[in-house]
Structure 1
Amino acid sequence: MGKPTRWVTETKPGHSQWYIDRFRRLAAEGADLAGEARLLDAMVPPGARILDAGCGTGRVGAELAARGHRVVGVDADPALIGAARADHPGPRWLVADLAELDLAAQGEPEPFDAAVCAGNVLAFVAPGTERAVLARIAAHVRPDGILVVGFGTDRGYPLTEFDADAVSTGLHLEHRFATWDLRPWRDDADFAVTVLRKPVG
């Protein structure tokens, strides 16, 4: 593992368990936790291979798997991966630092049709590693594949920096929305969902 993530340095002790408990409770209450997965499902072919980058407790990847996709989920927090494995058998859940991601070394050499970063993932990576994270995720996506990223615009990672980092990794900005249910983008929106495409060649 590289530098400690903000998930470790900027949260209180017990935060991971609180997060696990929160999403288990929401699921038990019947909350709609599948919005991100519905969007990805609409953008990829049936049976797509999808990387859930920063998968947390696995809610997005599990829903994508339930829709017939082949999912590998990755997170730096072993507690969250443990919860994903316990609650959502089926996808492969791996502990890994996104800034140093090398899934071939963990037995997953096949490229992905798409990757998703939901749940403010890029706001929780180690400071200064955002560009490396995007580059390592992009390296695992096939040419003409997509990376869909959502995070709050007030989370300390300005969209101007994000866009510059995406361009530097060779990704093309294809769409931007204000929500995962595709409400139109506004400059004053407090959340951004961005669709990036990896060029062919």
Structure 2
Amino acid sequence: MSRWRQLTGEKTGQDYAERFAALARSGKDMHGEARFCAALVPEGARVLDAGCGTGRVMIRLAQLGYDCVGVDLDASMLAVARERAPELPWHQADLAEFEADRLGLAADFGLVVAAGNVLPLLAPGTEAEVVRRLASVLRPGGLFVAGFGLDEAHLPVPPGLTLPEYDDHCAAAGLTLVDRFATWDADPYDNGGYAVTVHRR
């Protein structure tokens, strides 16, 4: 069972959406992840939002002109995403069993993004398989971007995935490290408790 399912029971979509709506109303910038991704690939590129949740990142990328697809396990989160942007393709799937062709998707994405602690909230022991499956849908030269917490201050669950482990999973999946940052604003990584990492296939 995924750590996300244990944490939420997969019934928190509306609550999750409201929390971010409240942050937006307070004036907080809610589009850092989308802006970061948009700086990496040209407008019109195919983007897979892996663990898309309520669609906050993907909807913004679609508004910026990207060809987006969202995948998430949590039906309550996807219900919010579909309500907000019914014209966009949202798919329910476990990333540990994700197969693009079974969803009718071509495996030629220019970018795969996993934001919002997707990787640390997977079922323990599936991290390498998820990275392998997501890497496999990238076109040659495509980018894999993941941002996640590494300590208790940045995670809602006990830390379980280290950066060396993650880099090993990526290397095994045929990905090469490009860069690593401390935030979605591309601040230099300082060995802190959160990292945004870019790999290339």
After TM superposition, the score normalised by the length of structure 2 is 0.91
**Which of 88, 92, 99 does residue 91 from structure 1 map onto?**
88
Partner of 2:156 in structure 1? none
**1:133 aligned residue:** 130
Secondary structure at the aligned position of 1:120 is classed as coil
1:164 correspondence with 2:168: yes
- 2:200 aligns to what? 197
Letter in 2 for 1:21: E
Structure 2: any 5+ residue segments left out of the alignment? 152-158
Distance in 2, matches of 1:69 and 1:139, equals 20
Structure 1: give runs of 5+ residues left out of the alignment. Answer: none
Cα shift at 1:110: 4.4
Partners of 2:170 and 2:10 lie apart in 1 by: 32
Residue 164 of structure 1: how far off its partner (Å):
1.0
Partners of 1:94 and 1:15 in 2: CA distance:
18
Q: 1:90-128: per-residue Cα shift (whole Å, max 9, x none)?
A: 321110111111121112124111010100000111110
What is the DSSP-based 3-state SS (H/G/I as helix, E as strand, rest coil) of the residue aligned with 2:49? Answer: strand
Give distance in 1, aligned partners of 2:142 and 2:36: 15
Aligned-residue offset at 1:29: 4.7
Q: CA RMSD in A?
A: 1.6
List aligned pairs for 1:19-58, cutoff 5 A: 19-58=16-55
1:61 aligns with 2:64: no
Report the CA distance shift for 1:126/1:57 in structure 2 as closer, same or farther (over 3 A). Answer: same
Report if the CA contact (8 A) 1:70-1:91 is conserved.
no
Larger mean CA deviation between 87-96 and 135-144 belongs to 87-96
CA 1:13–1:176 in structure 2 vs 1: closer, same or farther (change >3 Å)?
Answer: closer
Q: Any idea what SS the aligned residue of 2:39 has?
A: helix
* 1:170/1:110 CA distance change after superposition, 3 Å: closer
2:14/2:80 contact within 8 Å kept: no
Cα offset, 1:13, TM superposition: 7.5
| Matched length | 194
The aligned runs of 1:179-194 (5 Å cut-off) are 179-187=183-191, 189-194=192-197
Distance (whole Å) between structure 2 residues aligned to residue 193 and residue 90 of structure 1: 29
